[in-house]
Amino acid sequence: MEHEHPPPGPGQRLAALLGGSETGGAFALEVLTLPPYASGPGAHAHPHGEGHYVLSGTLAATLGERTVIVRAGSAVHVEPDVPHTCWNPGAAPVVVLLIQAPPPANPQMP
């Protein structure tokens, strides 16, 4: 398992909106887009907490031992150091706003 976020895989897009240098080290804001049925970052854990707010589509996420389905307009919180991964279980792209606090050291990683 990786301890920083793995880089985006095929078809994934990760756009950094705000990094720690722009928020006084408080948080980072990013948008992750996964094509239909695409896998997201592989299982990983990190010391920052992460909020996933689904803007459109449907996200499936495994957090520790549980798997959740997060529909557009809903959010899920990833606790620090909990192994997690996500994927798109649907036929439409999924677009997810990621809020990370504190911001990760490497702004290219979600």
User: Which residues here bind Zn ion, judged by CB under 5 A?
Assistant: 50
CB closer to Zn ion out of 40 and 91 = 40
How far apart, in whole angstroms, are the C-alpha atoms of residue 49 and residue 93? 24
Residue whose Cβ sits closest to Zn ion? 50
User: With respect to Zn ion, which residue has the nearer C-beta, 30 or 50?
Assistant: 50
In the complex, the smallest distance separating the C-beta of residue 62 from Zn ion, rounded to whole angstroms, is 11
Q: Which is nearer to Zn ion, 57 or 78 (CB)?
A: 78
Residues 6+ apart with CB under 8 A from 74: 53, 54
Distance separating alpha carbons of residues 65 and 84, to the nearest angstrom: 9
User: How near is the Cβ of 47 to Zn ion at its closest, in Å?
Assistant: 11
Residue 6 CA to residue 110 CA, distance in Å, equals: 8
